[in-house]
Structure 1
Amino acid sequence: MLLDFHATFNLHRDVMPWVLAQGAPDNLAKCSRTLRIVNVEKNGNVLYTWKGSESVTKIGIYDPITNQNKMLYSIDSEVNVISCSVNTEKTLLALSYCNSSCEGAPSRLLSPVSKYLALLVEIKPVNDLKVLKAVDSIVRVQFLYPGEDKHLSSESHLLLFSDEKYIEQFHIDTENKDNKVVIKSSGQIRRERLLEDFVWAQWDMPGQRLFYIIPKDSSCVLHCIQFYPDENFKHVLEVALEISLANEGVSLINLGYDPPEERGRGKVTSSSLQVFTNQTGGLCLFYCKTPKKSQDITYTVAFLHKGCSKTFKIATTMRNISDYKLKRLSFINLDSYVAVYLPDHFFHLINTKYPDMMCYHLFLSGKYRSFCYIFLAEIIEWICENLSTCQTFDPIQEFIIAYLHRKLSSETMYLDKLLAYTSVPLWNMDIRGVSCTTDMIDMPVMKIIKCKGFWEKFHLELEFMKQSQQRFLYSSNMQRRDWCKLISQLFFFFTLLKVSQNSELNICYSATYTTTACRFFYLMHTDQSLEHRGHQFQQYPQKDTGEKRNSVYQRNILENAKKVLLNMNTSKSERVVPLVQEEDYLQKDLMGLMMVKLKDHLSQHLHHVGKNKIEKIVLDYFSKQLDLVCLILEVVWRKHMQDSGVLRFDTSGNPSEYFAFNIMCRISEAATLMSMPLPPGFQTLHLVLAMRCLPLGNFLHYIDIGALPLTEAFVVKLLKELDDREENEKLKYSIIIRLPENISERVHRLWDHAISNNFIAMKYVRKLLFRLNNKEVTRQSLTERSPLYINFLPLNYLIMMLSDVEDRALNPFEEDNIDATFLEEIALKRTSALLGLH
């Protein structure tokens, strides 16, 4: 969905018009048929060849920076150019070719006895040439390229590859003579043999690396030589492979071109093998072998930087898979992905950066052969419209995690190895016609210790895998475990609180913990009658259960949460979603706790990153989480909810509101599974939509199961906007009895109703009773203590208890504006109602 394939260079578009302008319009068919690419140098220059009139073979070069073509060399005979390369200064051209026929003299300049030749040509200007090789086996040539900051040198270095299983390096000295760059005529060109007895070699042009395989017993060993700008080279890698290439001919990758008439001659390769690297230190080997008596194609991907391999088996409709058909199998490097493509059969995308991700299996035909890039808002729209079709993963979770991973991991080195990149713990979805098996392989051995660039990153990958097999990613399971650990501790203390009210222990708990625990118990369908936030008790000594939550730690959590909210980028002035800026203690506690945990996680592994940088990474991580949730809502609102002022309680919801409500349900579910906080006002808006879109029974059920946590802002809005008609009274009562006590005590006074009065009186009585101690209270007769004598024992006992408390406290009802008469009246009405005396 994010792939955009387009040609940066097209041979017939960028070269063919220039070729025809050279004076060969009458040979259009021949030029078009013989025009082909033979090499692409490190700087992007493209070398190509074609056959013109009068039996001439020409070699040209295209510069992608200037978009200009230039003739490099012309051979006055029709030969098949196999490979060619030009040095950085464009003063020397090396080429190898095969004569079309050895009969007769193929050239008036050269009359070789051997079939294959390798030449070194002076091209500034064309002055002279030297024969490097004249043999009966195919040879290929490639100049080494220094670094970008390397000054122009008078010495060039050339690699020569032979099908006779050896590789040589030539050192060519040049000098300026009469405005011409010529090869120094000081005898034979210096050369050295780099290696021999190899069966496979691949030239990595961008990295200036040579990979090669040497057979050993029944297996093979992969080696790598790194060439450096100072003309030095080092053997950097060695790893054993569980494949056998001993009985096959030499195979060379990224080293020229086999003319059609030369294909298959001199080599009996029945396998396709290629190495790919990416910028983050990934090194993978792709291997495919022609099956003998099977219609299936099998290829193996060895993730050398991870110590594992995957073997894919694809069922095809081909009856006889020939070597030619297998050669049509292409491996295309897309940096973090490698595309495996067999025309008319399958197109796979393999994630080389994260091997545990699934293989993307695509069939391309017609208009679906190209992938187009789509913008962030369009991705959100696609997710919202296709939520019901995604059964194996949560697209909202994947979108949020993938965006954060891509955005943040590119800012700091090695951060991508620590942040989660998917919410799916295991990709186990079956793909029809494709099977996959995973195996462990030997880890590569690094031949050098101090290295930079790619090899430094590759070495880090190996160290991460060697140190431990544990996952280094910051996962939502880790967050949920810490969150539940805190709540379990609170459950223990609140249990003590309920069973020891008459004991000598004075129970205390933090005010913030109270709010957190109240909300948690509410969501878990447990006791909702916990004491509200703000009560102060003497401290109860805690047992150390792993991580003691003291006041300093709690204050740090709240400060972190405030920083996240202030760091959000979503502009309030441009926001169309009616999010209420409310105080949600649970979300702030969760936000701050997760920040602390992520900072600890990154500090443990990012030793090279300073404390302030880690602080910024963590701050951006959670603030961007909230921004993405707000952005999803903005896209939904702008497309479906044109009038945000319709969110009232007196009408039912429309289809657009049903759609928005469903999206918010999925966001809430995704956030819960990820232990991710939600932006302020999200839950209140969700409740308003739910009340408009759901029947009362369903709405209350959503509240009871914890899918719709009640908020103070929603209850205040409900009590203020709805009158006290019978149906509204029923709704208000249904909501109030479900409120956590820390909210109910603040909203009851907003509703002047008998139900609220009952709650106020009950709460205050419980508060007074809690003040009693175990000391004996001398009680006088009821007739002496109060003129309010009612022939009902429970009520008389209550009056007596309250009178005792009144005598022992100064202004006991002043803070709540409650008097004894009010309490007695409420108690009598409540008792009468329960006894059915009305």
Structure 2
Amino acid sequence: MLLRLRARFDPRRDAAPWLAGQPLAADADAFLESLETLYVVNVERNGNIIYTWKGTRGHTCIGLYDPNSQTNEHLYTFEKDLHVISCSVNNEKTLLAVSFLQSTKEVTANLLFQPVSKCLTLLIEICPINNVKVLKAVDNCIRVQFLYPVAETQTFPESCLLLISEDKYVEKFDIRIVKEGHTAVIENSSHLPKEKIADDFLWIQWDTLEQRLFYVVRKGSRDILNCVQFYPDKSFTLILEVPLEISLPDIGFKLLNLKCDYYQGQEVEPQPLNLHVFTNERGSFCICYCIAPVKPGDVTYSAFFLHKGYSKTYTVALERTDFLQVKDLTFLNLDYYVAVFLPGHFLHLLNTQHPDLMCCNFFLTGEDAKINGLHKSAIVSPLKSMVLDLGTGQLFALEISKQGLLQFLWNSKRDSDRLATLHCLLLYIGNTTELETEIIKWISENMSTCFTFDPVQEFIIASLYWRMCPEAVNLDKLLPYTSLGCWNEPIPGITCTTHIISLPVLKAQNCKGFWEKLISSLEYVKYAGPPLRFNSKVLQRELEKLHLDQTDEGKRLTMYFTTIFEYAKKVLSNLNTRSSEERLVPFFQDEDYQQQLQTGLMAAQLKDHLMRHLQYVGKKRIEQIAVDYVSKLLGLMCRIMENVWRKYNLDSWVFYLGQQGGSNEALVFHLMCRMLQAANEMCLPLPPGFHTLHTRLGVRCLPLYTLLHYIDQGVLHLTELCVLNLLKELDNTEKNEKLKLGILARLPEAIGHKVAQLPSHPLGSSTIVQTYIKLLLEKLGNKRPSTSLVDRSPAQIEFLPLNYLVTMLAEVDHQVVFLRLGGFRGTRDCEFETCRRGGTEAYGHALGPLVLRSEDEWATSSNISASPHAATSTHAERPPLSRQKNCWL
């Protein structure tokens, strides 16, 4: 199960020992009776829980439990049996506001003498117990709630009390406290200043944690949601108006988060509308509601994501309709998620940060949808991430379980569940070394089981997103949060439709905190044209352009390359500084020009992208964010490899190329192939030394013909360090000579020149020389004849024995042609001429890819149709790796 309950208040655990010592608990039977009558009536912003219980003489007692100190405190006792419907205590615990209903018998008896109000609202001095002031005496219910300052460490001389009446109005009383010795007394209690906050509303909700009052009023033909924000200095502001896309029925008085009324909860009342407002600190603003279903067996509910500018309507087809009641549908605030819970049927977790993709949400049924420890239809949520079970009086902290998520990740069969779990782990649980290790373990076992997304890509992109978003305001709108562009796969049991909605109107300016983030999100929705998130396709196009322009020696291009490599140095320096643990994987042992170019280019492109939209942050800060982003990207790849290395017990940093690799090395090699594929598709750079290590593992684990095929297809990339080590470590046996020749025939031009300058050149072997020259002649003999006259002087190359051989062949060719054809330059002469010039040019271009037929022919045959310049093509020009699973593994 994903959701876990943690008992924050249990009457038998937290209150029973204290109640047993109270004077009114004379015996065991009286104590048990008192315990059975204990009810929670309010949960204050600081977490204090106010509850009532009945004494032995019918007295009604009010107590307070502090979960931080785990202590109970007696606040007040009424010497008669009362039905307390609302209660609140101020932050200093000097004042108690109580609203209660008098019993029917008492009201009937008093009617013989004088009219008696059904509901009384009292303000009581409790430090110590002194005066009692009647605030309201009416027939309609009143709810009371003290306002709490945001900075609870500061003591304020004034307290503010909200009175919310069933007659559809809200008043605020300002109460000033004066100290008289050790006594706290209300100043001028006969005349308390008051203000009217709202009037004639249809629905109202109090947000205890954020001190906000939401209510719905009707203006003309539309229903408008208003929000009043209260501040510590007694001020308040009507800060927001939202035109609702639905028309609320006049259902009378409906309160949320202001009562825990057991008596009213036991009555069967029609609930035609279930409406809740949820916010979180990242600027998410959601309105969720449920209306009675039109079709039997279906449940329909909608969520207005005001910070996104659209709403989504979800329809769930239930497998069974026994005992189905729409009023049982509960909306719970889990901070970054909204839980839609229908006990016994389903649990839907809506990702409020990114609700656009259904795969970022959980839709669970059966055993996965259960929340153990709760009654089916007696649940209320007095605070964010809290659930009160009215049946037992237990108050629970509701949270998403880390262990439950990891277990769900391993057991899930659908890609949508896996993707939602990855995002939930990284967003809700947070990025920790322990959590990343657990996720990497799952990725290494399930790389080939996900068909709609790549787990390596998703882990890296999502991890970077949730790590970097707090670095700057609006950064969350500019960085990619998923590797997927869209999600078209249906989720069994639920359908979804999307609608554009009206944006809210903010009445206040210069807001901070939540409202500042909401305003920023609304501005993004209003004025954003094309998607503003950094796109890997742009990086891919720029990289291809750089490969085409590398031969340009212009000043602008040279300076641009210098800038790119400067960024690459900063990224690698930053990465080395951050990496404090002992490295198991032999990365950072060489400098790969291609990867340095891609690393620096990504940092430079990301910096330019952020500069266009975050000018107010500053150039230096944006540069640092871009460098940190790429550094953390490479760091995540290193962490993946470190965990894989540790899992398969590859302790040695150096693998001798003359030995055959084991099964564990083969598994690591194929995992690196998948990482390479994921990086290529997203145009992500790889850590320095990745290709060197990958090729060394390939030499140890693959047959010769497969190894050369992987090189031809771009799976393995030859680096200078790898080639030099290979030529030095391998002796000149027949098998190794075939391998060397195959590698030499595929060297990029830059590496080929360096290899040719080695003192112990690999072509010093007579066998390799003979085979190599044979390959050159066979390749050049199949070229089409040239029709132009060419220079007969042989081109000089850096290998002297080959220069001498080519010069002798050219002289023999020249004499034979003129003796046989009498000086006539016919077709045959052109073929020999082409052969001569081609032989001198081919070595300089370091041999195109070979078409290999058998294990012996793979190292000796040549690709006739391939261009001699094919081997000089860059990594970006190689054919892309197939997206199909196991196509080349």
**The two structures share one fold, judged by TM-score above 0.5:** yes
Q: Does 1:57 align with 2:60?
A: yes
Q: Is the contact between residue 465 and residue 481 of structure 2 (CA under 8 Å) also seen in structure 1?
A: yes
Tell me what 2:584 maps to: 576
Gap runs ≥5 in structure 2: 372-399, 404-433, 781-787, 794-806, 819-828, 845-859, 865-889
Tell me what 1:372 maps to: 402
Q: Does 1:586 align with 2:594?
A: yes
Q: Measured at CA, do residues 793 and 217 of structure 1 come closer, stay the same or move farther in structure 2, by a change above 3 Å?
A: farther
Residues 670-749 of structure 1 aligned to structure 2 (within 5 Å): 670-748=678-756, 749=758
Tell me what 2:869 maps to: none
Q: Secondary structure at the match of 1:703?
A: helix
Q: Is the contact between residue 343 and residue 370 of structure 2 (CA under 8 Å) also seen in structure 1?
A: no
Q: Secondary structure at the match of 2:438?
A: helix
Q: Matched residues in 1 for 2:752 and 2:808: separation? A: 32
* Cα distance per residue 1:400-437 (max 9 Å; x no partner): 12222222222333322222211111133321101111
Residues 131-210 of structure 1 aligned to structure 2 (within 5 Å): 131-148=134-151, 151-177=154-180, 179-185=182-188, 187-210=190-213
Q: Measured at CA, do residues 263 and 162 of structure 1 come closer, stay the same or move farther in structure 2, by a change above 3 Å?
A: farther
Aligned pair partner of 1:312 in 314, 320, 330: 314
Q: Matched residues in 1 for 2:214 and 2:357: separation? A: 27
Q: CA deviation at 1:762?
A: 11
Task: Using the aligned pairs only, state the percent identity.
Answer: 46
Q: Does 1:352 align with 2:355?
A: no
Q: Matched residues in 1 for 2:32 and 2:679: separation? A: 63
Q: Measured at CA, do residues 726 and 786 of structure 1 come closer, stay the same or move farther in structure 2, by a change above 3 Å?
A: closer
Q: Measured at CA, do residues 724 and 795 of structure 1 come closer, stay the same or move farther in structure 2, by a change above 3 Å?
A: farther
Q: Matched residues in 2 for 1:787 and 1:140: separation? A: 106
Q: Is the contact between residue 275 and residue 287 of structure 2 (CA under 8 Å) also seen in structure 1?
A: yes
Aligned pair partner of 1:72 in 70, 75, 78: 75
* Cα distance per residue 1:19-71 (max 9 Å; x no partner): 23325343354334332322222222221222232212221112233322111
Q: Measured at CA, do residues 181 and 3 of structure 1 come closer, stay the same or move farther in structure 2, by a change above 3 Å?
A: same
Judge which range, 787-796 or 306-315, deviates more: 787-796
Q: Is the contact between residue 383 and residue 396 of structure 1 (CA under 8 Å) also seen in structure 2?
A: yes
Q: Matched residues in 2 for 1:562 and 1:26: separation? A: 78
Q: Matched residues in 2 for 1:212 and 1:239: separation? A: 10
Q: Is the contact between residue 308 and residue 439 of structure 1 (CA under 8 Å) also seen in structure 2?
A: yes
Q: Measured at CA, do residues 619 and 163 of structure 1 come closer, stay the same or move farther in structure 2, by a change above 3 Å?
A: same
Tell me what 1:428 maps to: 488
Q: Matched residues in 2 for 1:106 and 1:626: separation? A: 80
Q: Secondary structure at the match of 1:410?
A: helix
Q: Matched residues in 2 for 1:655 and 1:320: separation? A: 55
* Cα distance per residue 1:660-709 (max 9 Å; x no partner): 12221121111112211101111121122233333333333322221222
Q: Secondary structure at the match of 2:508?
A: coil
Tell me what 1:613 maps to: 621
Judge which range, 671-680 or 410-419, deviates more: 410-419
Q: Does 1:21 align with 2:21?
A: yes
Q: Secondary structure at the match of 2:736?
A: helix
Q: Matched residues in 2 for 1:706 and 1:778: separation? A: 37
* Cα distance per residue 1:143-177 (max 9 Å; x no partner): 11233178534432211112221112222233334
Q: Is the contact between residue 36 and residue 49 of structure 1 (CA under 8 Å) also seen in structure 2?
A: yes
User: How many residues in Structure 1 have an aligned counterpart in Structure 2?
Assistant: 739
Judge which range, 191-200 or 637-646, deviates more: 637-646
Q: CA deviation at 1:4?
A: 6.7
Q: Measured at CA, do residues 572 and 49 of structure 1 come closer, stay the same or move farther in structure 2, by a change above 3 Å?
A: closer
Q: Secondary structure at the match of 1:576?
A: coil
Q: Measured at CA, do residues 549 and 385 of structure 1 come closer, stay the same or move farther in structure 2, by a change above 3 Å?
A: farther
Tell me what 2:765 maps to: 753
Q: Measured at CA, do residues 276 and 655 of structure 1 come closer, stay the same or move farther in structure 2, by a change above 3 Å?
A: same
Judge which range, 699-708 or 11-20, deviates more: 11-20
Q: Is the contact between residue 339 and residue 350 of structure 1 (CA under 8 Å) also seen in structure 2?
A: yes
Tell me what 1:562 maps to: 569
Q: Measured at CA, do residues 48 and 631 of structure 1 come closer, stay the same or move farther in structure 2, by a change above 3 Å?
A: same
Q: Secondary structure at the match of 2:33?
A: helix
Aligned pair partner of 1:450 in 510, 522, 526: 510
Tell me what 2:523 maps to: 463
Q: CA deviation at 1:183?
A: 2.5
Q: Is the contact between residue 570 and residue 627 of structure 2 (CA under 8 Å) also seen in structure 1?
A: yes
**TM-score computed with the length of structure 2 as normaliser:** 0.76
Q: Matched residues in 2 for 1:713 and 1:403: separation? A: 32
Tell me what 1:520 maps to: none
Judge which range, 612-621 or 436-445, deviates more: 612-621
Residues 379-390 of structure 1 aligned to structure 2 (within 5 Å): 379-390=439-450
Q: Measured at CA, do residues 4 and 319 of structure 1 come closer, stay the same or move farther in structure 2, by a change above 3 Å?
A: closer
Q: Does 1:397 align with 2:404?
A: no
Q: Matched residues in 2 for 1:129 and 1:119: separation? A: 7
Aligned pair partner of 1:122 in 125, 131, 136: 125
Q: Which amino acid aligns with 2:575?
A: M
Q: Matched residues in 2 for 1:572 and 1:170: separation? A: 58
Q: Which amino acid aligns with 2:566?
A: E
Judge which range, 600-609 or 366-375, deviates more: 366-375
* Cα distance per residue 1:350-398 (max 9 Å; x no partner): 1111222332122463898672356221221122122222222111112
Q: CA deviation at 1:778?
A: 11
Judge which range, 635-644 or 231-240, deviates more: 635-644
Q: Measured at CA, do residues 198 and 451 of structure 1 come closer, stay the same or move farther in structure 2, by a change above 3 Å?
A: same
Q: Does 1:790 align with 2:812?
A: yes
**TM-score computed with the length of structure 1 as normaliser:** 0.81
Q: CA deviation at 1:717?
A: 2.6
Q: Is the contact between residue 220 and residue 243 of structure 1 (CA under 8 Å) also seen in structure 2?
A: yes
Q: Is the contact between residue 77 and residue 106 of structure 1 (CA under 8 Å) also seen in structure 2?
A: no
Q: Measured at CA, do residues 147 and 787 of structure 1 come closer, stay the same or move farther in structure 2, by a change above 3 Å?
A: closer
Query: How large is the Cα RMSD of the aligned pairs?
Result: 3.7
Higher relative contact order (CA 8 A, sep 6+): 2
Q: Is the contact between residue 169 and residue 191 of structure 1 (CA under 8 Å) also seen in structure 2?
A: yes
Q: CA deviation at 1:346?
A: 1.6
Q: Is the contact between residue 248 and residue 268 of structure 1 (CA under 8 Å) also seen in structure 2?
A: no
Q: CA deviation at 1:118?
A: 1.7
Q: Matched residues in 1 for 2:323 and 2:304: separation? A: 24
Q: Secondary structure at the match of 2:463?
A: helix
Tell me what 1:628 maps to: 636
Q: Is the contact between residue 745 and residue 760 of structure 1 (CA under 8 Å) also seen in structure 2?
A: no
Tell me what 2:784 maps to: none
Q: Is the contact between residue 583 and residue 680 of structure 1 (CA under 8 Å) also seen in structure 2?
A: yes
Q: Matched residues in 2 for 1:40 and 1:368: separation? A: 25
Q: Secondary structure at the match of 1:42?
A: coil
Aligned pair partner of 1:291 in 290, 293, 309: 293
Q: Matched residues in 2 for 1:36 and 1:398: separation? A: 47
Q: Is the contact between residue 249 and residue 268 of structure 1 (CA under 8 Å) also seen in structure 2?
A: no
Q: Secondary structure at the match of 1:93?
A: strand
* Cα distance per residue 1:463-512 (max 9 Å; x no partner): 1111124322223233223223434556xxxxxxxxxxxxxxxxx534xx
* Cα distance per residue 1:54-89 (max 9 Å; x no partner): 212221112233322111111223323222111122
Q: Measured at CA, do residues 270 and 720 of structure 1 come closer, stay the same or move farther in structure 2, by a change above 3 Å?
A: same
Q: Secondary structure at the match of 2:471?
A: coil
Q: Measured at CA, do residues 684 and 191 of structure 1 come closer, stay the same or move farther in structure 2, by a change above 3 Å?
A: same
Q: Secondary structure at the match of 2:402?
A: coil
Residues 251-290 of structure 1 aligned to structure 2 (within 5 Å): 251-261=254-264, 264=267, 268-290=270-292
Residues 589-604 of structure 1 aligned to structure 2 (within 5 Å): 589-604=597-612
Gap runs ≥5 in structure 1: 491-507, 511-538, 540-547, 767-773, 780-784, 806-811, 817-829
Q: CA deviation at 1:329?
A: 2.4
Q: Is the contact between residue 288 and residue 299 of structure 1 (CA under 8 Å) also seen in structure 2?
A: yes
Tell me what 1:823 maps to: none
Q: Is the contact between residue 657 and residue 700 of structure 2 (CA under 8 Å) also seen in structure 1?
A: yes
